[in-house]
Amino acid sequence: MRRAANQVGLPAVLGVLLFFVGIGLAVYFLVTQSSDTFWNLEKLDAVSYAESAKSFQGGVYLIEGTLEELLDSSSASGRLVSLAVSSSRGVILIPVLVPQNLGSFNLQKGQGLKMKTKGIDRGLLQAEKIEKMM
Amino acid sequence: MNPQAAPLVILCSLLFVFCLRAQTNSSAGPSQGSGAVQAQGSLPPITIDPSKPASGGSLPTPDSGGDGITWDGKSFKITDFRALDSKFSAYLNEPEISFAEEKEYGELIEKITDLLDVYRIRGRNREYLIREVMPLLRKASRHPRDGGLCRSIYNAVGTDLQAKDASDSKKERMKELEKKVDSIKWNMKMAAQSGTLAPQGSKAAQDDEIQRNVKYTFLNDELQNTYAEMQALAKQDLEKMGDSRIALQRVVVGLFLARRFDHVMIGSSIYRLMYSDGAGEVKLQQRLIAEAAENAKQLRAAANVATSESTKTVRSSNYKEDQKSSSRVESGITSMLPGTTAVMDSMTGAKLQIAAAIPDTMTEVEMISQEAIDQCNRYLTAVKGHMAQNELDNALQRLQEAFAAGENLACVRSFPREMKQTLWKYKNAVKEARTGLASKDLGKAKEAIAKVNQMTSDNPLSKEGSDIGNVETISAMHLAKAKEAASRGDREGMNKELEEAAKAWPQNPALASATAKIIEQLDQQSQNKTELRKLIQQKNYKYIFDEKARFLASAADDDKLLAELNQVLQSHSSSLSYSGKAEELLKRNDPFGAWETAEEGVKKYPESTDLIKIRSDAAMKVPDFVREIEKGRSSAERQDPVTALCAFLAAKRLYPNSTLAKEGIEKSAAQAMSF
């Protein structure tokens, strides 16, 4: 039994470890160094969202669309905008709350935007990160 | 005389005598020569001499028009008397055969009158009467149209002749009696002288004296009896002669009162021929008054009258005479009817008044009769003149007056039949119109008046014709008011107006149908109210709106229901504006806008089927939009504002002008942000 344990050498173990470390580094590199920062986010199912927004509460979603209009705004909550999102049923307008902390982001009607959103109260999508699309 | 006809005859006679006397008096005055005018007008007004005592209760007095009388507070016209009117109608409608008889009799009377002309009988005596006149009088008395008139004159003349014969035989008897008186006187003279030669104081002389005394006494008695007989004969003769004269006078006066003026002229001419007593004083007045009073008593107590008769023998020496006296005792029931007694009392007075009105002399009787005949002739001339000018009413009145004055005169009886027939037809037409007016059958009256108008140029009913138009208008006005009251549900007012309409024109043909219609309307009104309440409950506003006129009329008297109805109508009007707008949008190919408008309307007026239909039609064209709006609404209701916002945003994308979507977005957005 001892002989058997002795047969797996230290180098092998180190090799395996190095292998995993290498993979980890590669992944880290890939993540940190990539230009598309929303690549790992779930894309929002606009059709389902339009049917029942509540069920999207708590989730983080990537949403891409064109800024349609400003629906509402308040100094406390921020700006509520509608994004025209393409879906299997055509364009669907999705309301997204742009919080105050993103107040500096310049929003313009017809602008293509990519947003990292989170389903907050009653399923309202709140933008956490916004990027303009080229 | 028929007791029922008695008052009428008395009245007519009285009236006529008054009229004639008044006319006779007036013709003697300044108005003489105005006969032609009188013939065309009515008789002049008459006044009764107030100095004459009015016996037997209230007397008839002529009215101010002069063509009638007032009796017991009532006015009568000659034409008012039904009996006279029926006689006049019979006269107008006389058959051809009767007319021929009348003409024949009239010619006979004219012939007798001609024979008794005052100039013709001058210097004639009774022989002329018996030879020339009596045969014709006898012939006339046997004529079927005479009716005993000529017979009465004939008999009166006969009575006089019989009295004359009796008088002749009595004269012979008187001569015998006168001879007898002479003889008795001689015998008495002889009886007074002594016939014996025996010495005075002797027994023979005493016996002779006794015998002569007895003889003288007998002769004296016989002389007294003969004188008594002579006195009685003379008295009887005088009475008989007087009776026969009075008999003829009685006939003449009777004929005068019966207005048989032709016969009066005959009788008075015969009287003049038979008795040359100057003015021919009528001596019957007192007797007539007594008879009138007696007749009145008989009429009054005809049911129970006991007549007793007693005979008394008056003796004067050996001459005796039976004197009869009779008395009438009324007992038991005085009268079957209280009113009859009163009438008969008046009749008594009327008869007395007639007696007072009888002319004093035969000449006056003749004059009045002649005046009557002349007047009737003038009337008849006027009748012909009026008929030539187609003035039938005037013609009828003149003929009626002529008939009333002298219905039995030859000139009246022989008036042309074809003219009488024309007037008869006219009279019937007027009667029909008057009947229609009296019974307020205005339709019938109007028709009859139009007929009269066609017949004559002096329609007496033209005013009534105008009045009919007024009455029709009044009736129609009340009917309209009744309808109006019924439409207000004012049943009391309706009944009142209907009564007024019926009062004005009971036989208004529109009245029955209108009444039925109004009542039906009133019932309908009640039904309408029930229906309206039900429809309001069912919210069938469209039907209420369509029938608003009917329901408004029905609910007019119910404030609460009317308020409800007004509200319904107002809201339905608004709903109609929504539906109109929606329809217009649909026409403009804006189904989104149409749906939204209809939806807004339906929200306000959910009972509006029109709006619901339009909304449905629009929804068929924009189902996605409708779905999104509905989804947004339902999500908002479920407190899911984000989903609602998505739905409204989708809707707005489909119809950017959507008001509902905008409102939904605003509301949902605000809710979504209010966490």
Judge contact between B433 and B448, C-beta under 8 A: yes
| Closest residue in chain B to residue A126, using alpha carbons only | B673
Q: How many domains does chain B have?
A: 2
Cβ atoms within 10 Å, residue B184: 21
User: B593 vs chain A: nearest CA distance in angstroms?
Assistant: 21
Put simply, whether B640 touches A (Cβ < 8 Å) is yes
Residue finishing a domain among B240, B267, B293: B240
Residues of A in contact with B649 (CB under 8 A): 68, 71, 82, 93-95
pLDDT at position A96 is 92
Lowest mean pLDDT among B72-81, B217-226, B386-395: B72-81
Put simply, whether B642 touches A (Cβ < 8 Å) is yes
- On the question of pLDDT at A21 being above 90, the answer is yes
Rounded to whole angstroms, the Cα distance separating B321 from B454 reads 77
Q: What is the CATH number of the domain that holds A64?
A: 2.40.50.140
Number of C-alpha atoms within 13 angstroms, CB side, residue B217?
A: 5
| Closest residue in chain B to residue A98, using alpha carbons only | B673
Out of A54, A74, A84, name the one closest to residue B673 (CB). A74
Q: Is residue B403 part of a domain?
A: no
User: A52 vs chain B: nearest CA distance in angstroms?
Assistant: 6
Residue finishing a domain among B213, B240, B267: B240
* Max mean pLDDT range (B229-243, B310-324, B619-633): B619-633
Structure tokens at A20: 């995993």
Out of A77, A91, A122, name the one closest to residue B642 (CB). A122
Record: contact A71-B645, CB cut-off 8 A: yes
For residues A77 and A27, state if they share a domain. Answer: no
- On the question of pLDDT at B284 being above 70, the answer is no
Mean pLDDT of chain B: 74
Query: What pLDDT, in 10s, does the model give residues A52-75?
Result: 888 998 999 999 999 988 888 888
Out of A72, A93, A121, name the one closest to residue B646 (CB). A93
pLDDT at position B287 is 59
- On the question of pLDDT at B511 being above 50, the answer is yes
Q: Is residue B402 part of a domain?
A: no
Q: Is residue B223 part of a domain?
A: yes
Q: What are phi and psi of B657, to 5 degrees?
A: -85, 5
In chain A, the DSSP E strands lie at 42-43, 60-74, 78-87, 90-98, 112-119, 125-132
Q: For residue B72, what pLDDT band results from cuts at 50, 70 and 90?
A: low
Query: What pLDDT, in 10s, does the model give residues B292-344?
Result: 555 545 544 443 444 444 555 544 444 444 544 444 444 433 333 333 334 44
Residues of B in contact with A53 (CB under 8 A): 640, 642-643, 646
Record: contact A50-B670, CB cut-off 8 A: no
Rounded to whole angstroms, the Cα distance separating B642 from A123 reads 7
User: B606 vs chain A: nearest CA distance in angstroms?
Assistant: 29
Domain encompassing residue A26: 2-33
Mean pLDDT of B633-643: 91
User: B627 vs chain A: nearest CA distance in angstroms?
Assistant: 12
For residues A63 and A111, state if they share a domain. Answer: yes
Query: What pLDDT, in 10s, does the model give residues B106-157?
Result: 888 888 888 888 777 777 777 787 888 888 888 888 888 787 888 888 888 8
C-alpha B453, offset from chain centre: 22
Structure tokens at B431: 């009667």
User: A132 vs chain B: nearest CA distance in angstroms?
Assistant: 23
Residues of A in contact with B661 (CB under 8 A): none
Mean pLDDT of B380-407: 88
For residues A28 and A46, state if they share a domain. Answer: no
Put simply, whether B669 touches A (Cβ < 8 Å) is yes
Structure tokens at A10: 């230290």
| Cα–Cα–Cα angle for B128, B131, B136, rounded to 5 degrees | 110
pLDDT at position A17 is 92
Residues of A in contact with B645 (CB under 8 A): 71, 95
For residues A117 and A62, state if they share a domain. Answer: yes
* Max mean pLDDT range (B236-240, B306-310, B665-669): B665-669
pLDDT at position B629 is 93
For residues A47 and A78, state if they share a domain. Answer: yes
Strand pairing category for B68-71 and B61-62: antiparallel
Residue among B230, B122, B126 at smallest CA distance from B174: B230
Q: Is residue B482 part of a domain?
A: no
For residues A48 and A95, state if they share a domain. Answer: yes
| Closest residue in chain A to residue B639, using alpha carbons only | A122
Q: Is residue B584 part of a domain?
A: yes
Residues of B in contact with A57 (CB under 8 A): none
Mean pLDDT of B235-242: 67
Q: For residue B263, what pLDDT band results from cuts at 50, 70 and 90?
A: confident
Q: How many domains does chain A have?
A: 2
For residues A46 and A107, state if they share a domain. Answer: yes
Put simply, whether B646 touches A (Cβ < 8 Å) is yes
Q: Is residue B654 part of a domain?
A: yes
Query: What pLDDT, in 10s, does the model give residues B462-510?
Result: 888 888 888 888 888 888 888 888 777 677 888 888 888 888 887 777 8
Out of B643, B652, B673, name the one closest to residue A80 (CB). B673
Lowest mean pLDDT among B202-206, B598-602, B656-660: B202-206
Residues of A in contact with B666 (CB under 8 A): 72
Residue finishing a domain among B205, B240, B275: B240
pLDDT at position B630 is 92
Record: contact B670-A97, CB cut-off 8 A: no
| Closest residue in chain A to residue B627, using alpha carbons only | A51
Query: What pLDDT, in 10s, does the model give residues A72-94?
Result: 888 888 899 999 999 888 899 99
- On the question of pLDDT at B22 being above 90, the answer is no
User: B639 vs chain A: nearest CA distance in angstroms?
Assistant: 9
Out of A50, A77, A80, name the one closest to residue B646 (CB). A50
Residues of A in contact with B652 (CB under 8 A): 93
| Cα–Cα–Cα angle for B610, B611, B613, rounded to 5 degrees | 65
Q: Pinpoint the alpha helices (H) of B116-148.
A: 126-128, 134-141
Q: Is residue B431 part of a domain?
A: no
Chain A and chain B share a number of CB contacts under 8 A equal to 66
- On the question of pLDDT at B209 being above 50, the answer is yes
Rounded to whole angstroms, the Cα distance separating B96 from B102 reads 10
pLDDT at position B658 is 92
User: B621 vs chain A: nearest CA distance in angstroms?
Assistant: 19
Out of B640, B649, B653, name the one closest to residue A95 (CB). B649
Q: For residue B48, what pLDDT band results from cuts at 50, 70 and 90?
A: very low
Record: contact B643-A52, CB cut-off 8 A: yes
For residues A64 and A108, state if they share a domain. Answer: yes
Scanning A48-107 for CB atoms below 8 A from B yields 49-54, 68, 71-72, 74, 77, 80, 82, 84, 91-95, 97
Q: What are phi and psi of B327, to 5 degrees?
A: -140, 150
For residues A55 and A72, state if they share a domain. Answer: yes
Q: What is the CATH number of the domain that holds B653?
A: 1.25.40
Judge contact between B328 and B306, C-beta under 8 A: yes
Record: contact A95-B645, CB cut-off 8 A: yes
| Residue among B625, B628, B631, B642 with most chain A CBs within 10 A, to mutate | B642
- Residue B311 vs residue B537, higher pLDDT: B537
User: B525 vs chain A: nearest CA distance in angstroms?
Assistant: 57
Rounded to whole angstroms, the Cα distance separating A124 from B672 reads 7
Put simply, whether B675 touches A (Cβ < 8 Å) is yes
Record: contact A53-B649, CB cut-off 8 A: no
Rounded to whole angstroms, the Cα distance separating B67 from B80 reads 11
Query: What pLDDT, in 10s, does the model give residues B433-469?
Result: 888 888 777 788 888 888 888 888 888 888 888 888 8
For residues A51 and A27, state if they share a domain. Answer: no
SS3 B360: coil
Rounded to whole angstroms, the Cα distance separating A60 from B349 reads 141
β-bridge mates for residue B322, sequence order = B313
Looking at residue A40, its amino acid is N
Rounded to whole angstroms, the Cα distance separating B51 from B519 reads 67
For residues A74 and A91, state if they share a domain. Answer: yes
Q: Which residues contact B153 (CB under 8 A, 6 or more apart)?
A: B137, B141, B248, B251, B255, B263, B266, B267, B270
User: B589 vs chain A: nearest CA distance in angstroms?
Assistant: 24
Q: Which residues contact B396 (CB under 8 A, 6 or more apart)?
A: B423, B426, B427, B430
Record: contact A123-B643, CB cut-off 8 A: yes
ipTM value? 0.78
User: A81 vs chain B: nearest CA distance in angstroms?
Assistant: 10
Q: Is residue B561 part of a domain?
A: no
| Closest residue in chain A to residue B644, using alpha carbons only | A50
Judge contact between B343 and B3, C-beta under 8 A: no
Out of A71, A84, A91, name the one closest to residue B665 (CB). A71
Put simply, whether B641 touches A (Cβ < 8 Å) is yes
pLDDT at position B299 is 45
Domain encompassing residue B594: 579-673
User: A124 vs chain B: nearest CA distance in angstroms?
Assistant: 6
Rounded to whole angstroms, the Cα distance separating B204 from B201 reads 8
